[in-house]
A and B are shown apart, each in its own frame.
Chain A
Amino acid sequence: MNALTLWFHKLGSPPYFYRFAGRLLPWLYGVSLLVASVGLYFGLVRAPADYLQGESVRILYIHVPCAWMSLFGYLTMAGAGFIAVVWRIKLAELIAMACAPVGAAFTFVTLVTGSLWGRPTWGTYWVWDARLTSELVLLFLYFGVIGLYRAFDDPRRGARAACLLALIGVVNLPIVHYSVEWWNTLHQGQSVRLMGESSMHSSMLVPLLMMALATHVYFFASVFARARVALLEQEGGKEWVRELARAGASA
């Protein structure tokens, strides 16, 4: 077995993951904070304002990365969920369940920032645009996964049920998105597209990509932090947790 496979196996062991993630966390938070600061500086201060929308276009430096993360979060959740359902690996269950609230939060921020952006741009806080509607449905899917998980007394069974639901949802996700887009074109007269055309000037693209990087790193930091806490809760009776508690008490 080569070193990488061996390391993955080790990673599945709760105490190893706890320590590994614990050492990684400060770096993850640090990097994301740093990159976000630089990205926001370039985006909010240095990048040019839009000739049509003016300063309000700057919301895109938060809105777009969060939108990307809302989808990335769901895919990560579904991926970990697949591992959890097929191989019943406890850590995969915890990671999948940790992705849900983080992904939901990113979705919520996407919707709110999108709504705030809509006000100056379209004159209204909400339209039933294909993107907004399917993003809202994504939020519902997240809520469903979280709700199902919390409804079970047995957290492991709840996690696997929620992972199965997440997998059903991931199949549905492109269908929902596509069907809403189709519905929009059916009810013609649709408004301005949220994103500008694909060719974006580097002065805008660079801060955007920096924010994308920052949010990705933050996502993993947040998921790891949540997974660690859930791990402690569920492994509470085990020896390694008790040792940690003793070490913490004597520190």
Chain B
Amino acid sequence: MSEDVPNEVPLLAARALSFARGDEVIFGPLDFTLASRETLVMEGGNGAGKTTLIRVLAGLLAPGSGSIEWRGEPLSTLDPDPGRIALLGHQLALKSDLTARENLKFRIALQGMRAGITIAAAIKSVGLAGYDDAAVRTLSAGQRKRTALAALLLSPALVWLLDEPYANLDRDGQVLVDRMLEAHASRGGATVLTSHGLVQPALSRHRTHVLGVGG
């Protein structure tokens, strides 16, 4: 695993990260490192704090205690960078009145585009060819998820934060996600994804961590 490049500074690291809402500890203290080419699966049941962790890592929530490091530097000391992380949340951040193509164009303008890929290629990769000019409102849940996955393909970010990426996808869709994760890792990227544990990523290598109170 990360023994391949023992001295590489991990892209992302969590040090004693915890989050509490009022008196209730949601997760933590949590320690992990995420190096380039790694995929980390955070498993947990309902209420284990998976979505909360993703939101903390994405910078939406401030951690209760602990810190997050990006390439060894505390995230709070760094300037924000649009191309640093790509987020795929529960809600897909797609405007339902716009077409898939219009949504993707907006995402590119917002966070940049990875070199070597076009919108058309991304749409084809996720199996939405022919649906790119339909309003997202008219797409099924699975097709919307695929649109969000296309946005992920177009993102230049090295680190992907995915909250339940397999949700709403059929068997083909799950295979698609696995392929995307492999390709992302081979390009040097890294991923943290959450899962209920029912669908196991079929990846050549990944680490799993069970999330909960205490880490």
A–B direct contact (CB < 8 Å):
yes
User: Nearest Cβ distance between residue A183 and chain B, in whole angstroms?
Assistant: 42
Complexed CA–CA distance, A156 and B64 (Å): 14
A237 close to B (CB within 8 Å): yes
8 Å CB interface, A93-117 against B: none
- Hey, which chain A residues are within 8 Å of B22, CB to CB? 156, 237
- Does A23 touch B at the CB level, under 8 Å? no
The interface size of chain A toward B, counting residues with CB under 8 Å, comes to 3
Chain B, 3-24, contact with A by CB distance < 8 Å: what is the 0/1 string? Answer: 0000000000000000000110
- Bound-state CA distance A237–B23 (Å) is 7
- Where chain A touches its partner, the secondary structure class is loop
Q: Is A201 part of the contact surface with B, judged by Cβ < 8 Å?
A: no
CB distance from A245 to the nearest CB of B (A): 16
Nearest chain A residue, comparing its CB with the CB of B23: A237
Q: Which residues of B contact A238 (CB under 8 A)?
A: 23
Q: In the assembly, what is the distance between CA of A238 and CA of B23, in Å?
A: 8
Q: How far is the CB of A236 from chain B (nearest CB, A)?
A: 9
Residue of B nearest to A238 (CB): B23
* Chain B min CB distance to A11 (Å): 22
Contact with B along A214-249 (1 / 0, CB 8 A): 000000000000000000000001100000000000
CB distance from A84 to the nearest CB of B (A): 14
B16 CB to closest chain A CB, in angstroms? 19
Closest to B62 in A: A88
Chain A positions within 8 Å of B23 at CB level: 237-238
Task: Please indicate the chain B residues that have their CB under 8 angstroms from the CB of A156 in the complex.
Answer: 22
Chain A to chain B: the 4 pairs with minimum beta-carbon distance, closest first: A237-B23, A238-B23, A237-B22, A156-B22
What are 4 A-B interface contacts by the 8 Å CB criterion? A156-B22, A237-B22, A237-B23, A238-B23
